[in-house]
């Protein structure tokens, strides 16, 4: 099918975890869906960004994220070498295996994929996005849909549409994958971290996560502050600085950590790990206080229990970090903005303050929020595209049909 000369029910901009799930959920419910992605694969930070493991699915012995995303990762874990077993913290996946699994799931659901395409602008008409202006190798072209889902990570469509947003920031990182490790000779992770701390690069400690292959590990260690992540020059400078740190880190572990003598960088991430940029100012803004209190909402369409995790050089490079005692609800109202009738937001740019954002930005909530956004988009497209008129109970029931978890934790106060 020619993706250009079509009117779609739902257009999803951004093929990260949230955008992929939104597209799958909408197409599964019968909508004609186009998913536009600037890179050549789905999965965003989980694949192109090499951000592993995919966290956080539950705390205190209880899962609070479920749904289609959890099922997909459980199935992936059954493929040798593709992923570690699902757990409350989350599995580590092989990035290539995850790309393939997400792409297959999208195609099987009926999603029309369009890679190598950027969103440039939109045409607005009385609060409705009438056209999305995109560009690719062949030049500029317009895309049209009843409902548009902004899953760009940076709320690019939100900004283009003139919807309200706030701008925040945290340290940015470039993940890298190290191979050639002899794990039979390695100390445990705490000991590796202690050795690295004696020689560390920059302000962060070592965050190392074992790959499903026994000879490899993901490193989440590089970080720079105050990068302008909405500017190509700023992104370039941050990428160069982080890649330089990655090679310095490799040299340290090769010299000082047993089992790493023959280690090598098999890959640095294709996408820089931007944790925060624009955030929608929606009908409701989820706050850090609400997250920490385990607040529930009548229009909750997902739950999260990830720690408050604000990256930066404060506290000796630890940033601001503390775990939660229970999960909290994420209201549908955080996905929509007053006066913008056919725009939904999925993923980290939903309406939240700085502290709540630092929790919900992780990928397990991204799976859940994306699936909810896709179901809501399909329901809105069945009528006239008004996302404010969607029946939230209908969205919630559909989510439960796919084993989403919307109720408070057992024993929560």
In tens, the pLDDT along 359-399 reads 999 999 999 999 999 999 999 999 999 999 999 999 999 99
Given a cut of 70, whether residue 413 has pLDDT beyond it is no
Residue 29 vs residue 5, higher pLDDT: 29
**Residue 105 forms part of a structural domain:** yes
**Residue 2 forms part of a structural domain:** no
Given a cut of 90, whether residue 255 has pLDDT beyond it is yes
Residue 400 to residue 396: CA distance in whole angstroms: 6
272 φ/ψ sector (left φ>0, alpha ψ -120 to 50, else beta):
beta
Pair (96, 218) in one structural domain: no
Pair (85, 130) in one structural domain: yes
> H/E element holding 268?
strand 264-268
Residue 33 to residue 24: CA distance in whole angstroms: 8
Pair (305, 387) in one structural domain: yes
Strand partners, 250: none
Note the pLDDT of residue 1: 62
**Residue 413 forms part of a structural domain:** no
Pair (303, 254) in one structural domain: no
Pair (282, 264) in one structural domain: no
Residues 314-349: pLDDT tens digits?
877 778 999 999 999 999 999 999 999 999 999 999
Residues 48-72: pLDDT tens digits?
999 999 999 999 999 999 999 999 9
Which are the contacts of 270, defined by CB distance < 8 A and separation ≥ 6?
A: 39, 48, 49
Mean pLDDT of 356-361: 98
Share of the chain above pLDDT 90, in %: 96
Note the pLDDT of residue 317: 73
Q: Kindly list the distances between the CA atom of residue 114 and the CA atoms of 1, 37, 42, 192, 303, in Å, as whole numbers in the listed order.
A: 11, 6, 11, 42, 30
Instruction: Using the 3D structure, point to which of 203, 236, 268 is the last residue of a domain.
Output: 268
Mean pLDDT of 255-261: 98
Pair (134, 259) in one structural domain: no
Which of 262, 71, 289 shows the shortest CA–CA distance to 182? 262
Pair (161, 223) in one structural domain: no
Note the pLDDT of residue 51: 98
E strand spans, 93-220? 112-114, 118-125, 128-136, 139-150, 165-167, 176-179, 208-210, 217-219
Residue 377 to residue 75: CA distance in whole angstroms: 26
- Secondary structure (3-state) at 189: helix
Its domain, for residue 188, covers 176-268
Pair (160, 293) in one structural domain: yes
Given a cut of 90, whether residue 261 has pLDDT beyond it is yes
**Residue 319 forms part of a structural domain:** no
Note the pLDDT of residue 313: 82
Strand pairing class (328-331; 300-304): antiparallel
**Residue 1 forms part of a structural domain:** no
pTM of the full predicted structure? 0.97
Given a cut of 70, whether residue 195 has pLDDT beyond it is yes
Question: Residue 363: which CATH number?
Answer: 3.50.50.60
Pair (186, 331) in one structural domain: no
Model confidence at 411, in pLDDT bands (50, 70, 90)?
Answer: confident
> H/E element holding 291?
helix 288-292
Pair (13, 161) in one structural domain: yes
Given a cut of 90, whether residue 6 has pLDDT beyond it is no
Note the pLDDT of residue 5: 72
**Residue 382 forms part of a structural domain:** yes
Residue 296 to residue 290: CA distance in whole angstroms: 8
Model confidence at 4, in pLDDT bands (50, 70, 90)?
Answer: confident
**Residue 101 forms part of a structural domain:** yes
Tell me the two tokens of residue 35. Answer: 């998913």
Q: Total structural domains in the chain?
A: 2
Tell me the two tokens of residue 292. Answer: 């920490």
Pair (115, 54) in one structural domain: yes
Which are the contacts of 290, defined by CB distance < 8 A and separation ≥ 6?
A: 328, 356
**Residue 373 forms part of a structural domain:** yes
Pair (40, 162) in one structural domain: yes
Model confidence at 281, in pLDDT bands (50, 70, 90)?
Answer: very high
Q: What's the mean pLDDT when you consider all of the chain?
A: 97
Given a cut of 90, whether residue 41 has pLDDT beyond it is yes
Instruction: Using the 3D structure, point to which of 235, 268, 301 is the last residue of a domain.
Output: 268
Mean pLDDT of 247-268: 98
């Amino acid at each position: 099918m020619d993706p250009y000369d079509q009117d779609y029910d739902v257009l999803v901009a951004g093929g990260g975890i949230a955008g992929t799930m939104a597209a799958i959920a909408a197409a599964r419910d019968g909508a004609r869906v186009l998913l536009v992605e600037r890179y050549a694969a789905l999965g965003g930070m989980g694949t192109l960004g090499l951000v592993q493991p995919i966290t956080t699915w539950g705390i205190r012995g209880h899962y609070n994220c479920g749904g289609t995303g959890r099922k997909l990762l459980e199935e992936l874990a059954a493929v040798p070498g593709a992923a570690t077993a699902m757990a409350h913290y989350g599995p580590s996946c092989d990035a290539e295996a995850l790309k393939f699994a997400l792409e297959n799931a999208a195609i099987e659901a009926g999603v029309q994929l369009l890679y190598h395409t950027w969103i440039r602008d939109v045409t607005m008409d009385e609060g409705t996005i009438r056209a999305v202006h995109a560009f690719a190798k062949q030049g500029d072209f317009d895309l049209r849909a009843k409902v548009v889902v902004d899953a760009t990570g940076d709320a690019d469509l939100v900004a283009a549409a003139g919807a309200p947003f706030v701008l925040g920031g945290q340290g940015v990182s470039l993940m890298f994958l190290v191979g050639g490790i002899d794990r039979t000779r390695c100390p445990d992770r705490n000991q590796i971290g202690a050795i690295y701390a004696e020689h560390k690069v920059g302000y962060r400690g070592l965050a190392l996560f074992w790959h499903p292959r026994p000879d490899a590990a993901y490193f989440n260690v590089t970080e720079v502050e105050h990068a302008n992540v909405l500017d190509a020059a700023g992104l370039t400078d941050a990428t160069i600085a982080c890649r330089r740190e990655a090679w310095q880190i490799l040299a340290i572990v090769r010299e000082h950590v047993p089992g790493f003598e023959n280690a090598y960088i098999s890959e640095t991430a294709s996408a820089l790990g931007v944790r925060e940029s624009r955030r929608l100012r929606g009908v409701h803004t989820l706050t850090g206080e609400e997250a920490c209190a385990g607040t529930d909402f009548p229009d909750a369409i997902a739950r999260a229990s990830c720690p408050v995790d604000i990256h930066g050089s404060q506290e000796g490079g630890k940033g601001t970090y503390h775990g939660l005692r229970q999960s909290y609800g994420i209201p549908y109202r955080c996905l929509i903005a007053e006066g913008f009738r056919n725009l939904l937001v999925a993923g980290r740019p939903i309406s939240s303050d700085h502290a709540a954002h630092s929790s919900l930005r992780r990928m397990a909530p991204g799976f859940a929020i994306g699936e909810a956004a896709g179901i809501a988009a399909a329901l809105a497209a069945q009528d006239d595209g008004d996302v404010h008129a969607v029946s939230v109970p209908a969205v919630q029931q559909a989510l439960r049909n796919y084993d989403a978890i919307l109720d408070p934790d057992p024993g929560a106060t």
